[in-house]
């Protein structure tokens, strides 16, 4: 059985070290030298302004899925509602949370609720870019001079007419009796 002074000394040492554990979790570095690794957590579907503008009432479910992707949440009790939820937590960038609700009337799109303005694709990429140096994105469209510099594609040869009748003759499957 440990003596009373050693128990008191152990309890005091424990009480002094516990606050150090919580300060390590709340600070971004330890003694200014070590930065702990923070896991990037990305969940859900990124829905940009361009995607939301492409969705029009009257589209069917397959067309909506082609543009927005599969919904993160579909509920058996609310079969006419798809929920698109997106969250990202990245070190050096502001955390983001977006909820988009798509409502159907049967198989036809009734409405889309974005819960506010959605970022354009370039704005979204800029918001999660944590590089400290500025990067110039290449142009997405060719200029007139670059378009003129491209080689002219060869014209396709005229298609040959489809043969009339069977191209091969096959023996009968059964022998005649």
Going along the chain from its start, the domains and CATH numbers come out as: 43-128 (3.30.1450)
* Residue 22 CA, distance from chain mean position: 33
Under the banding of pLDDT at 50, 70 and 90, the label for residue 29 is: low
- Average the pLDDT over 161-172 and give the result: 72
Helix (H, G, I), strand (E, B) or coil at 80: strand
Beta-ladder partners of 88: 42, 96
Query: Which among 18, 4, 107 is positioned nearest to 61, based on CA atoms?
Result: 107
Extract the tokens encoding 29.
């570095």
DSSP state of 92: T
% of the chain surpassing 70 pLDDT: 77
When the pLDDT of each residue in the chain is averaged and rounded to a whole number, the result is 80
User: Which residue shows structure tokens 């079969």?
Assistant: 79
Extract the tokens encoding 134.
């500025």
Under the banding of pLDDT at 50, 70 and 90, the label for residue 4 is: confident
User: Which residue shows structure tokens 């009790």?
Assistant: 77
Helix (H, G, I), strand (E, B) or coil at 140: coil
- Say if CB 109 and CB 57 are below 8 A apart: yes
Element (H, E) at 97: strand 96-105
């Amino acid at each position: 059985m440990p003596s009373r002074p050693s128990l008191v000394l152990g309890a005091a040492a424990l009480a002094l070290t516990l606050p150090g554990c919580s300060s390590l979790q709340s600070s971004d570095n330890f003694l200014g030298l070590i930065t702990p690794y923070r896991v990037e957590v990305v969940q859900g579907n990124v829905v940009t302004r361009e995607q939301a503008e492409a969705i029009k009432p009257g589209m069917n479910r397959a067309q909506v899925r082609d543009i927005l992707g599969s919904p993160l949440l579909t509920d058996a009790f609310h079969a006419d509602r798809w929920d698109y939820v997106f969250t990202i937590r990245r070190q050096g960038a502001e955390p983001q949370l977006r909820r988009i609700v798509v409502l159907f009337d049967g198989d036809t799109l009734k409405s889309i609720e974005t819960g506010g303005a959605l970022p354009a694709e370039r704005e979204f990429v800029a918001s999660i870019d944590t590089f400290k140096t500025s990067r110039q994105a290449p142009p997405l469209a060719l200029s007139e001079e670059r378009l003129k510099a491209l080689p002219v594609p060869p014209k396709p040869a005229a298609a040959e007419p489809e043969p009339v009748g069977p191209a091969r003759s096959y023996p009968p499957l059964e022998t005649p009796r």
